[in-house]
Structure formats: structure tokens, C-alpha cells
Amino acid sequence: MKLLLAISMVVSMNIFSDLSNAVIIDVRSESEWNEGHLSKAYRVDWDEIAGSIEEIVPDKNMQIILYCRSGNRAGKSMKILTNLGYTNVINAGGLQSAKELSNDRVIKEEI
């Protein structure tokens, strides 16, 4: 599975891309988000992303990094965004992979 994810990431992005301006979207549930998420991430339920994405990312050519727990919901979200015309979407898989890819840090919400 990890090899398939790595191949998917390489195919989905130019390995020389600068990801510092990418929009990071966590498509996990609110309870998963509260357990820890990337500091620069937006949270959108994967099944609501079609109705929310234009507000977060109006430029369909902007780089978007999606993550969830395993990459499954991020993959579904990636398909939705691609069908909506977004051209630069990466399924980073899980939180740790997204952290490494984006060079971001994990934070936990204080409740």
C-alpha cells in the first residue's frame, strides 16, 4: 500500500515542485482533526468538499494537498476535485505523510 501511495504521489506531482504555497486540506472527521492536524490545514469533510472548495481555493490551478487517515478519503476527494477542474491535486495519504510532504507541524486543538 505504501509503495502504491508513493507511486501515486510521484505521478500526481512534479517532484521538483515548491509546495510552500500549497493549500492543505484535512478531509477527516472533526474528532480526528481535534486529535491533531497540520497547522496550516483547512478541515473539510471529504463528502462536502465539492460545495466548499471554491471558497477555500478559487484558483483551480493552485496546488492542493489532501490528507486523511489512510489516503482513502483523500483519494475520493482528489477525484471530486479533479472532476471539478482542479489540476494540481495531491493525495498525501495520512497525517504523517502530509506532514513530511508539506514540511508542516502537527498541532492539537485545545478544547
* CATH label of the domain that carries residue 31: 3.40.250.10
Instruction: Give the chain's domain count.
Output: 1
**Structural domain for 18, as ranges:** 2-107
Q: Tell me: the pLDDT tens digits for 17-43?
A: 678 899 999 999 999 999 999 999 999
* Cα distance between residue 108 and residue 111, in whole Å: 9
Q: Considering the entire predicted model, what is its pTM?
A: 0.83
* Spatial CA neighbour of 96 closest among 17, 26, 19: 26
The catalytically annotated residue of 22, 41, 68, 98 is 68
Q: Report the share of the chain in percent with pLDDT over 70.
A: 83
Say whether pLDDT at 79 is over 80: yes
Q: What is the mean pLDDT of the chain?
A: 88
Q: Is 90 a catalytic residue?
A: no
Full DSSP string of 93-108 = EEHHHHHHHHT--EE-
